[in-house]
Amino acid sequence: MRDVAIIGVGMTKWGELWEKSLRTIFTETALLAIADAGVDKIDSMVVGCMSSGLFVGQEHLSSLLADYLGRTPVAAARVESACSSGGLALRQGFIEVASGMSDVVLVGGVEKMTDVTGCEATYALGTAADQEYEGYHGLTFPGLYAMMAVAHMHRYGTTREQLALVAVKNHDNGSRNPLAQFPFKITVEGVLNSVLVADPLRILDCSPITDGAAAVVLCPADMARKMKKPVVRITGSGQATDTIALASRKDLTWLESTHIAAQKALAMAGRKVDEIDLFEVHDCFTIAEIMVTEALGLVEKGRGGRAVEEGLTARGGRFPVNPSGGLKAKGHPVGATGVAQAIEVVKQLRGEAGDRQVKGARRGLTQNMGGTGGSSLVHVFEAE
């Protein structure tokens, strides 16, 4: 199996992009990644997208996006794993290069979510849950994560203020990211007084509806060295699933798919989690980041809330989590999130993250999950 490197990254500012179509958003970021890589051709492309059919009425993205990018007849595929579609696209591109099937692969993620009403967006996102046993009874993702939060608070003493501190931390990081949807700071008081969505979660505990795309270019590490590119290798990739319905889980406070995917990725990389310098994780809700830090092994079960309160996951802490601003501040165009996480890690490992740079970063990890953790992707990255 060949070593795989990321040699190009591309991303534009995320938000409510009323004047741009899905194809335009994707093409802009793909061209940026190709230019950054300095390549004149790609052998194949993989695109993560959760639900373009429901959001914009467009399927068959493999043809559409290759066409609009001007790259036909390149081999292209669209992959889906709910909100971890971008992470899955990255894994598939990694496998293709590592196996020798292709030398240069464009990996992208895209979602256009604001061209529908709030109710329609809620329905589209709800398809990532169990429709017969959860959706049928009116549960939405804020409601599902609220149940997870209540269970965590009851079992471990996690506080409402600790949840708020996750949002405050990530908005502070996001205020340093010019591509973030919400690049501004917030306060604990502001979170606690924001609109209640699903008790105990408030609107500032929730990631937003977002339009956006992200793209990276992969190639064999030997090729990257010959091109004299900064070499950031993907050294580990892990994927796992769990039951889609919360009612089928043994423990509402534990993300087993994230735990297993992380073990696989770290084992492939030959690393322990305390050797990683920064983490980009799936904070779709504040409770999600707390539970992910526990599942990754940054802290013991039940200590995720205290970790953020003690500054352990701050940008200058022992385990910096979401220096990009995370889904909470950067935004969450669901098909693109996993690819954008990789872009942040690459920028950090290249030393190109500006005011949010994690000092001395040489290794990073991304964690991207679908639904309430029904699927998870974890990747480990290392700079040479």
Quote the DSSP letter at residue 219: E
Looking at the fold, whether 63 and 197 belong to one and the same domain comes out as no
CATH number reported for the structural domain that contains residue 378 in this entry: 3.40.47.10
Q: Are 336 and 214 in contact (CB under 8 A)?
A: yes
Measured distance CA(379)–CA(87) in Å, rounded: 8
For Cα atoms 221, 106, 62, give the angle at the middle one, nearest 5 degrees.
150
Q: Helix H segments across 138-252?
A: 141-156, 160-174, 188-192, 221-226
If one counts the domains in the chain, the total is 2
Separation between Cα atoms, residue 163 and residue 23, nearest integer Å: 36
Mean pLDDT of the chain: 97
Residues 191 and 54 in one domain: no
> Same domain, yes or no, for 334 and 360?
yes
In a domain, 197, yes or no: yes
> Does the residue 122 lie in any domain?
no
* Distance from C-alpha of 342 to C-alpha of 344, rounded to nearest angstrom: 5
Range of the structural domain that residue 264 is part of: 128-208+235-383
Does 84 fall in a domain? yes
Q: Are residues 148 and 279 in the same domain?
A: yes
Model pLDDT for residues 250-293, shown as the tens digit of each residue = 999 999 999 999 999 999 999 999 999 999 999 999 999 999 99
- Given a contact cutoff of 8 angstroms between Cβ atoms, the answer to whether 163 and 200 are in contact is yes
| 151 and 56 in a common domain | no
Q: Check whether residue 46 and residue 184 sit in a common domain.
A: no
Residues annotated as catalytic (active site), given as ranges = 83, 332
| Ramachandran assignment for 79, one of left (phi > 0), alpha (psi -120 to 50 degrees), beta (any other) | beta
Q: Do 184 and 134 sit in the same domain of this protein?
A: yes
Q: Which amino acid is at 272?
A: K
Q: What's the pLDDT score for residue 25?
A: 98
Residues 166, 69 share a domain: no
Query: CA end-to-end span of the chain, whole Å?
Result: 19
**Residue 108 contacts residue 215 (beta carbons within 8 Å):** yes
Residue 229 pLDDT exceeds 90: no
Helices then strands, each counted (H, E), the chain? 14, 11
Q: Are 321 and 366 in contact (CB under 8 A)?
A: no
Report pLDDT digits (tens) over 21-77.
Answer: 999 999 999 999 999 999 999 999 999 999 999 999 999 999 999 999 999 999 999
Final residue of a structural domain among 197, 226, 255: 226
Q: Are residues 220 and 133 in the same domain?
A: no
Where a domain ends, among 226, 261, 296? 226
pLDDT at residue 127 tops 90: yes
Is the residue at 376 inside a domain?
yes
Query: Do residue 243 and residue 94 come from a single domain?
Result: no
* pTM as predicted: 0.98
3-state secondary structure (DSSP) of residue 121? helix
